[in-house]
Amino acid sequence: MTKYLGKSTTIAGAAVGTIGQIKSISGYNPTVDSIDVTVHSATYHRDFAAGLRNGGTMDIEVFYDFTDAGTKGCVDLLHGDPSLNTDTFTITLPDTKTIIFGVVVTGVNLGIPLDDFMTATISIQITGAVTGTLLA
């Protein structure tokens, strides 16, 4: 079984550009809603059907860099016109496979510790269909 270090993974937005100094990425937790379709004549078991897909959420932790265009772009998306705060992100994994999805930036949380480097956690909601070579 092949194993990969995540250190060469990149994230780039079509509008914000490449997000620099990534410390960690967590999330990408897609789900499918379940719809209860049980009828009164069911015999002791509920029945469910698949509903809509939800791409989930993701947190991108970076060493905060006030000059990084990608991080600044995410902050601008969060604080800008709500009708314009979407982008398309591409994650490129170490084996060059990609995950491509629409995002809404839902938060930017600054970490300002006393004796460590400043960080920012960029929170996103995945929106729409997820594509890319990882899923092919």
Domain boundaries, the chain: 6-135
Structure tokens that stand for 109 in this block: 């949380």
Share of the chain above pLDDT 90, in %: 69
Q: Mean pLDDT throughout 81-107?
A: 90
CA distances in angstroms from 91 to 38, 78, 95, 113, 136, listed in the order given? 40, 20, 11, 28, 15
Q: What is the mean pLDDT of the chain?
A: 91
| pLDDT for 134 | 83
The domain defined by 6-135 folds into Factor Xa Inhibitor (4.10.410)
